[in-house]
Amino acid sequence: MKMHVIDSHTEGEPTRVVLTGGPELGEGPLWERRQRFADEYDHVRRRLILEPRGSEAMVGALLCEPTRDDCDAAVIFFNNAGFLGMCGHGMIGVAVTLSYLDRLSPGEIRVETPVGVVAVELTSPNEATVENVPSYSYLRDVTVQVEGLGEVTGDVAWGGNWFFLTENSPCEIVLSNAQELTRAASSVRTSLAEQGITGPNGEEIDHIEFFSAPGEPEAPEVLQAHSRNFVLCPGNAYDRSPCGTGTSAKLACLAERGALAAGETWVQESVIGSRFVTSYRTNDAGEVIARISGRAFICSESTLVWQPNDPFANGIA
């Protein structure tokens, strides 16, 4: 078995776009095709994402035919733990990958995802802006008791995935503290589940975001960030980028609190110091539509091979 893939990173966070050899998911709405992927081809997700061919931080992107006439493409994102709703860094990675392949020119396209339609504008061969699905703050100032941390207070919000966002970081948000931040965020996620805090339909709050003051820009031409974050993803990998859907959730919380007006710029910095430049508008329904701009770079173009006698063909679980 072989698959042709292109790997890129968006502000440090990897994306693997599957070009050939991916599962045939048939027709139907994208959320239905994502379910078929999960039910019938989860071994393909594991083959693509887990070691020895992938890594815990890798996000896969399967390009599909869109079902909607007003969309140019469709994408299903997945990681080491399962499937994502949307993925901001991944969508920027997809746009830059398609540009690298000469399949996308500067300009805007509409892309279907399992959780709605996003607009993607390629602004240069290495830069794109994503206008996300509507984001919203669902619960404000929720306090959870977390073993080893005590009371942690934050908001629950949707930005294409579910997030708990808190300023109560257990330590400084720097890369050398990644293990401590991972342990703490994982405990917060467990506490949320144990204390019955979910999305409106019982959805697990599976992404945890700690926020702190930003660092100093390392060069005069780099924009000063408004905030720094650490985002723990469902498979316990932390996002090396500032997380597109997580920053969308943050913008919805800021909008809800009257702390950021529509059109104002918010620069979100990640734990490794990379940045997304963002803002939001409201649509006719008054919903927050986040705009996330970032850079992506191609890392490799390769054919992954699975020999029939490989005992770890389906990845190291």
Q: What is the 3-state secondary structure (H, E, C) of 203-220?
A: CCCCEEEEEECCCCCCCC
The answer to whether residues 252 and 246 touch, using CB atoms and an 8 Å cutoff, is: no
> Residues near 276 by Cβ (< 8 Å), separated by ≥ 6?
11, 88, 241, 242, 244, 247, 267, 268, 292, 293, 294
**Residues between 175 and 234 with contacts to ligand PYC, criterion CB under 6 A:** 233
Residue (1 or 244) nearer to ligand PYC, CB? 244
Residue 96 sits in the site that holds ligand PYC (CB under 6 A): no
Residue (130 or 192) nearer to ligand PYC, CB? 130
**Residues between 43 and 62 with contacts to ligand PYC, criterion CB under 6 A:** 59
User: Which residue in 64, 71, 87, 253 is the catalytic one?
Assistant: 87
Distances (CA, A) of 235 to 54, 108, 273: 13, 32, 22
Min dist. Cβ of residue 114 to ligand PYC (A)? 13
Residue 243 sits in the site that holds ligand PYC (CB under 6 A): yes
Piece in contact with ligand PYC (CB under 6 A), picked from 36-44, 138-146, 178-186, 237-245: 237-245
264 exposure class (CB count in 10 Å sphere: 0-12, 13-18, 19+): middle
Residue (53 or 250) nearer to ligand PYC, CB? 250
Distances (CA, A) of 252 to 257, 268, 278: 9, 14, 12
Residue (138 or 195) nearer to ligand PYC, CB? 138
Binding ligand PYC (rule: CB under 6 A), the pick from 112, 127, 239, 269 is 239
The secondary structure element, H or E, covering residue 40 is helix 30-40
Closest CA to 137 of 31, 280, 294: 280
Piece in contact with ligand PYC (CB under 6 A), picked from 21-29, 67-75, 140-148, 241-249: 241-249
Whether 87 is catalytic is yes
Tell me how far apart the alpha carbons of residues 302 and 2 are, in angstroms, rounded to a whole number.
10
**Total binding residues for ligand PYC by CB under 6 A?**
13
DSSP summary character for residue 135: B
Whether 64 is catalytic is no
Min dist. Cβ of residue 161 to ligand PYC (A)? 6
**Residues between 62 and 91 with contacts to ligand PYC, criterion CB under 6 A:** 84, 87-89
Residue 16 sits in the site that holds ligand PYC (CB under 6 A): no
Neighbours of 244 (CB within 10 A): 32
Residue (131 or 239) nearer to ligand PYC, CB? 239
Helix, coil or strand: residue 190 = helix
Min dist. Cβ of residue 50 to ligand PYC (A)? 16
Residue 245 sits in the site that holds ligand PYC (CB under 6 A): yes
The distance in angstroms from the start CA to the end CA of the chain is 20
The set of catalytic residues is: 87, 243
Binding footprint of ligand PYC on the chain (CB under 6 A):
13, 59, 84, 87-89, 161, 233, 239, 241, 243-245
